[in-house]
Amino acid sequence: MATLSSAGIGSGLNVESIVTGLMSIERQPLSKLQSQQSSYQSKISALGTIKSNLSSLQAAAKALTPAIGQSATASFSAYKASLADSTIATASTSNSAVAGSYSLEVTTLATSQRLALGPTYAADAQVLDFGSDSSRTLSITKGSTTVDITLESSQNTLAAVRDAINNAGAGVNASIVTDTGGKQNLLLTATSGGTANAVSLSGTATFIDPNNPGSTIGVSSAFSQTQAATDAVVKIQGISIATSGNTITNAIDGVTLELSKTGTTTLTVSRDNADLKSKLDTFVNAYNTLNSSIKSLSAYDASSKKGAVLNGDASLRNVQSQIRSALSNLPAELAGSSVRSLGDMGISFQTDGSLKIDSTKFDKAVSTNFSAVASAIGVYGSAVKTATTQLLETGGVVSARTDGLNSSVRSISKQIDSLNNRLTAIEKNYRAQFTALDTSMASMSTTSSYLSQQLSLLNSL
């Protein structure tokens, strides 16, 4: 029997076109499954956007929730300090500050003690006399604390002594000054000002006297004081205060002063609501982003009669409902407060569902009764934090809906794999049938040609 090299040659039929058409019909269920899977994946992606928006809102709400055991007033209180003459001092505050105005008179600044080595040396000169010892000690005492610095015989230059002192952290900084003749001197400066930070020197180290060869100078007498340590003296509201440094931390509650020069000025401490306002702005922006996402993902276009990817999705309505309830319901904790709703502090819902802060109304509310506003913010912040946490947690609305969609995607993937295997078998069967048809028709065609030839011969006879 004749064999065919290509389907359709024996029959004259366009077998490839016929098989392709038949398989197109067979693949229609596959296209529906793939379309459904794509739809689920789009919903998962959209829910990912909602989850991200909720996480941002959760973080913003957490920033508006007082820590456990801390009052809202203490949590949100912030102060700023300013001086009429900022060249005299600078000031910083903590939330324990109290608003007020204070006179400040700086009569003396704290100074750091300075010491200079008496003899001077060439840069590479030997400066210490070790005698028969391999090491000597240089002791630096500040208050009741003494730091012993061991100097080895190999450390016998001013540079080596300087480095050993600086590495010891003994309360002084050492430096070398070189004069016009190339001679070097060692200077010591107390790291902090004030009499309490003055130091004294002792130890077994002895310096070589360059003016009397063979003579030595003990460390205690080798250095002379070039500047005595002094304490800062200031008057705050006429009360004199002495401090060892130019930083004053305990004179005014919650205020730290850094003194710069002597003089008289006025310090003003006032409440600073900028940080609280910034946290509220962040919260409102986070809510508005979520609100915008919900609107766009659940929208319906009447002209095209098409809904957005999450149009009609119950989980989206649930998210919107829980967040709106946390912001709209009047909390029982604020029943007797003068500030109970968002509107009382200048925050209101707009026609599109977004929030907006009226800065003028907010500023008036906090200046009138800061504690009441702080308490209200803390209560609403806590309510939204709780709502977002419940929505995002495992088993929550968003996670449950996402898990359900992922499960559907996996199920459809299995159906698609199974259907693809079936379609492969169907196409193989179609091709086998048409190959058999081709072979049969080719055989018939050969027989027909033979009979026609024989009949033609008969007729000629």
Residue 5 has pLDDT above 50, yes or no: no
- pLDDT confidence band for 2 (50 / 70 / 90): very low
Q: Report domain extents, the chain.
A: 9-78+273-461, 79-110+231-271, 114-227
Output 100 or 1, whichever has higher pLDDT: 100
pLDDT for res 452 = 72
Length of the chain: 461
Distance between CA atoms of residues 95 and 271, nearest Å: 9
**pLDDT score at 428:** 81
Alpha carbon separation from 163 to 155, 158, 344 (Å, rounded):
9, 9, 65
One-letter amino acid of 108: T
Residue 58 has pLDDT above 70, yes or no: yes
Give the residue carrying structure tokens 């027989």.
447
Distance of CA 433 to the CA centre of its chain: 67
What is the reported pLDDT for 9? 47
Strand partners, 135: 152
The DSSP output letter for 101 is E
CATH assignment, 114-227: 2.60.40
Element (H, E) at 224: strand 223-227
State the burial class of residue 228 (Cβ atoms within 10 Å of its Cβ: 0-12, 13-18, 19+).
exposed
Residue type, 110: A
pLDDT, tens digit (0-9, with 9 covering 90-100), for 333-381: 998 899 999 999 999 999 999 999 999 999 999 999 999 999 999 999 9
Residue 276 scores a pLDDT above 70:
yes
pLDDT digits (tens, 9 = 90+) for 166-204: 999 999 999 999 998 899 999 999 998 889 899 999 999
Nearest one of 365, 372, 325, 322 to 347, comparing CA atoms: 365
Q: How far apart are CA 418 and CA 55, in angstroms?
A: 39
Tell me how far CA of residue 231 lies from CA of 211, 241, 350, in angstroms: 37, 10, 60
Strand-pairing partners, residue 152, are: 135
Q: What is the pLDDT of residues 174-184, one digit of tens each?
A: 999 999 889 99
Euclidean distance between the first and final Cα of the chain, in Å? 31
Residue 3 has pLDDT above 60, yes or no: no
- pLDDT score at 1: 41
- State if pTM tops 0.85: no
Q: pLDDT class for 35, splitting at 50, 70, 90?
A: confident
Structure tokens at 382: 């806590």
As a whole number, mean pLDDT of residues 10-16 equals 64
Q: What digits encode the pLDDT tens for the residues 99-110?
A: 899 999 999 999
CB distance 270 to 99 below 8 Å: yes
